[in-house]
Amino acid sequence: MTALGIAPLRLAERVVADPPVVLAPMAGITNTAFRRLCREIMSPQLPPGAAGGLFVSEMITSRALVERNAKTMRLIRFEADETPRSIQLYGVDPRVVGDAVRMIVDDDLADHVDLNFGCPVPKVTRKGGGSALPWRIELFTDIVDAAVRAARGAVPVTVKMRVGIDDDHITYREAGLRAQDAGVAHVALHGRTAQQFYGGQADWSRIADLVDALDVPVLGNGDIWEADDALRMVRETGCAGVVVGRGCLGRPWLFADLAAAFGGRPERTRPSLRAVATTMRRHAQLLADWLGEQHGVTDFRKHVAWYLKGFAVGGELRRGMAMSSSLAELDDHMAQLDLDQPFPQAVLGQPRGRTTGGRAVTLPYGWLDDRASRAVPAGAETEHSGG
C-alpha cells in the first residue's frame, strides 16, 4: 500500500507494480534501453521493498514471434535484472495469438503478456486490428480466450484497448466484460476512440464507467503529462493504476515523479539542461550497447526534440544533434549547449509526441456490417505502433 492508500497492482506472485504505474508499449520507444533508463531513474525514489513500475515492451507481432523473426527476437530481449518481463502482443488470428503465448510460456520469454486492442494507426485498423478489433466482439473474445488458455495460468494476460472506433461504435464496456470473463488479470483503457487518434482530450469518465462495470482491476490511460495528473485520474475514476505513454517522451524522470507522488511526497523533478544532457547521453549509450554505436545513436535521433522541448537551443544545433551518427559526434554537439538553463516551466502539463486527431478510421471493407463475424482478414498481421 502506498502512502496515499493506493494498493500495488498484483497480477501474479512475480508480477507486481508498486506503485501501480505502467509504461505503455510504444513502437520504436519502449525497447530494452528506454525501459532500463526509466527503471534506473525511478528506483532511487521507491520506498524499501517496493517493486517499482511495470515497463512493457514494444508491441510484438504474434506471427513474427511464432516464426522467430530475427528482428522480433531482438525486440523481446530483456536485461538479466529486468523483472517482471512484460511483452505486448498484437494479433488478429486467435490460433496465432495462442501459439505466441504458448511459446512465451514454454520458452520462458516473459512473465506477463498484454494484448493490444488500442492501436489506432491506419496500417493496423485497415486490417481489422488494434482499436478496430473489439467491434468484431466474437473475434475479440476468441483471441482473448486463446491467449488466456495458452498461458495456462503460468503468466497473467491483460488487455489494453480504446473506447471504441468512433462515437457511433463504442466497444469498451462489452469488450471489458468479455475480457474479464475470459480470465484476464486487468483491463487498461485509453479514454479516446480510434477516430480521435491522439487529439482532443481523453474522456476519463469512460474509465470510471469501466471501473464500475468490472470486478478485475481497470487501469487508466490518456493525458497523464505530470505525476499529479496520475493522482487526479485515480481520484476521479477509481482506477487501480495508470498507464503512461507520451507523457514520458523525452522525460523519463516522470517515473521518479510518479514514485514520489504515489508515495505521498511533494518533490517533482525539474532538471536543468545539464541534467537533461546527462540523461540524453545515458539513453544514447544504452541504445548503443544494445544496437551497436551507429545504429544506437541513429535510433536516438528521434528523442532529441522531445528532450530539448522548451529549452533555448538553436535550430542548427538541434539539427546537428538529431543527425549524429556516433557518440563522439553527439558529445561534440552537447558541448555547445548552454547547460545552465533551468527547466522550462512553460512545458509542464503540455502534450508531447503525437497530437493529431479527428481522422476517419480506415477499416476493412464491410467491417462494421457484422459484429458477430469471426472471420480473420487476409494478411492482417503487421508490425506497427502499440497505440
CATH number at residue 292: 1.10.1200
3-state SS, residue 94:
helix
Q: Output the pLDDT for position 339.
A: 97
196 and 301 together in one domain: no
Q: Which domain holds residue 337?
A: 273-342
Both 217 and 325 in a single domain? no
Within-domain flag for 151: yes
The reply to whether 173 and 201 lie within a common domain is yes
> Does 3 score more than 70 pLDDT?
no
What does the pLDDT read at residue 355? Answer: 84
* pLDDT at position 78 over 50: yes
Residue percentage of the chain with pLDDT more than 90: 93
For every residue of 326-359, which 3-state class applies, written as one string? CHHHHHHHHCCCCCCCCCCHHHCCCCCCCCCCCC
Whether 24 is in a domain gets the answer: yes
For 248-278, the three-class secondary structure string (H helix, E strand, C coil) is HCCCCCHHHHHHHHHCCCCCCCCCCHHHHHH
Distance of CA 189 to the CA centre of its chain: 12
pLDDT at residue 328 is higher than 70: yes
The answer on 184 and 127 residing in a single domain is yes
Please check whether residues 227 and 316 belong to one and the same domain: no
> Over 70: is that where the pLDDT of 114 sits?
yes
The model's pLDDT over 10-37, given as tens digits with 9 standing for 90+, comes to 999 999 999 999 999 999 999 999 999 9
Q: Is residue 359 in a domain?
A: no
Torsion of CA 357, 360, 361, 364, to 10 degrees: -160
Return phi, psi of residue 9, to 5°.
-90, 110
Q: Is the dihedral of CA 86, 55, 123, 197 positive or negative?
A: positive
The reply to whether 91 and 206 lie within a common domain is yes
Examine the residue annotation and report whether 119 is marked as an active-site residue of this protein. Answer: yes
Nearest Cα neighbor of 37 from 306, 387, 278 is 278
Q: What is the CA radius of gyration of the chain?
A: 20
Q: How far apart are CA 262 and CA 18, in angstroms?
A: 9
Same domain, 44 and 183: yes
Which pLDDT score is estimated for 387? 40
Give me the sign of the Cα torsion angle 331, 335, 340, 344. Answer: negative
Instruction: Answer yes or no: is 71 within a domain.
Output: yes
Report pLDDT digits (tens) over 218-245.
999 999 999 999 999 999 999 999 999 9
Under the banding of pLDDT at 50, 70 and 90, the label for residue 382 is low
Does 233 or 382 have the greater pLDDT score?
233
Same domain, 157 and 256: yes
The enclosing domain of 171 has a CATH number of 3.20.20.70
What's the CA gap between 363 and 96, in Å, rounded? 21
- Tell me what pLDDT residue 181 has: 98
The grid coordinates of residue 206 equal: 469512460
Query: Does some domain include residue 366?
Result: no
How far apart CA 379 and CA 61 sit, in angstroms, is 12
| Catalytic pick among 38, 119, 239, 248 | 119
Examine residue 124 and state whether it is found in any structural domain, yes or no. yes
Residue that is last in its domain, among 262, 287, 313:
262
Is the domain of 85 the same as that of 196?
Answer: yes
Query: Same domain for 329 and 220?
Result: no
146-185 pLDDT per residue, tens:
999 999 999 999 999 999 999 999 999 999 999 999 999 9
Mean pLDDT of 65-90: 95
Does the pLDDT value for residue 385 go beyond 70?
A: no
**Of 320 and 357, the one with more pLDDT:** 320
- Residues 87, 104 contacting (CB under 8 angstroms): yes
Domain count within the chain: 2
Do 16 and 132 fall within a single domain? yes
Same domain, 250 and 279: no
pLDDT at 5: 81
User: Which range has the worst mean pLDDT, 4-8, 72-76, 311-315?
Assistant: 4-8
Residue 362 lies in a domain: no
Cβ-based neighbours of 36, under 8 Å, separated by 6 or more: 79, 82, 286
pLDDT band at 386 (very low <50, low <70, confident <90, very high): very low
Instruction: Confirm whether 325 is domain-assigned.
Output: yes
CA-based nearest residue to 23, from 56, 49, 51: 56
Tell me if the bond preceding 364 is cis, omega within 30° of 0. Answer: no
